[in-house]
Chains A and B, each alone.
Chain A
Amino acid sequence: EAGVAQSPRYKIIEKRQSVAFWCNPISGHATLYWYQQILGQGPKLLIQFQNNGVVDDSQLPKDRFSAERLKGVDSTLKIQPAKLEDSAVYLCASSFTGGNQPQHFGDGTRLSIL
């Protein structure tokens, strides 16, 4: 079974620029999550999709972050404009049906803001 795929692995941008991350979940997984992991901290949930609908985006900074999951499969997370404090690893996870099913993580995109 192929795991969660994310790209790019690394991204370096200057503050106020925009950036986008892509995630392809495990085949058949209905629920998709985006997490932000700042160095030395545990992941923090940004947004959760069930198929192509948003379940929870309460911790997503909506003035600069946006996410979509068209057709209920792949997802993109965008930051525009980026701030220095957005430097982090952005992790995508998926689970079969959501709820309390185990979540499987990709290896993340490491974002550095200059």
Chain B
Amino acid sequence: QKEVEQDPGPLSVPEGAIVSLNCTYSNSAFQYFMWYRQYSRKGPELLMYTYSSGNKEDGRFTAQVDKSSKYISLFIRDSQPSDSATYLCAMSAGGTSYGKLTFGQGTILTVHP
């Protein structure tokens, strides 16, 4: 079993839709949770960064963390064609792991006009 599981999709939605992306994990030591966006032939770009459980909102993006269920989500409201990319969840344990990120395999999202 992988430490971080992410549905690879692909996911195709119409412009304006609400998108829900999810990851589950098995390592209860994970405390820091991130979502990266990766455009084709580009490096990952940090979208959201949260610590422990709870919600965080930034514009059209909302990240949720439920540590009791080992489940994290990213919601995109009013999705745009420019949101078409691969979305990667990533997490780290802190402490002695000192910044080591474990990534999901990524979900490919296409938003069509």
A82 on the interface (CB 8 Å rule)?
Answer: no
User: Given known contacts A41-B106, A42-B103, is B98 in contact with A102 (CB within 8 Å)?
Assistant: no
A48 on the interface (CB 8 Å rule)?
Answer: yes
A42 with B105: CB separation less than 8 A: yes
A100 with B32: CB separation less than 8 A: yes
Interface size range of chain B in the complex:
20 to 34
Interface size range of chain A in the complex:
20 to 34
Tell me, in angstroms, the Cα distance from A90 to B101 when the chains sit together: 15
Give every chain B residue within 8 A of A31 (Cβ-Cβ): 99
User: Given known contacts A41-B105, A41-B106, A42-B88, is B46 in contact with A103 (CB within 8 Å)?
Assistant: yes
For the complex of A and B, 5 pairs with smallest distance between CB atoms: A42-B103, A105-B43, A107-B43, A100-B32, A105-B44
Chain B residues close to A by CB (< 8 Å): 4, 6, 8, 31-32, 34, 36, 41-46, 49, 51, 88, 90, 92, 94, 98-101, 103-106
A residues 39-91 near B (Cβ < 8 Å) are 40-45, 48, 55-56, 91
B100 with A43: CB separation less than 8 A: no
Give every chain B residue within 8 A of A44 (Cβ-Cβ): 103
Tell me, in angstroms, the Cα distance from A50 to B105 when the chains sit together: 26
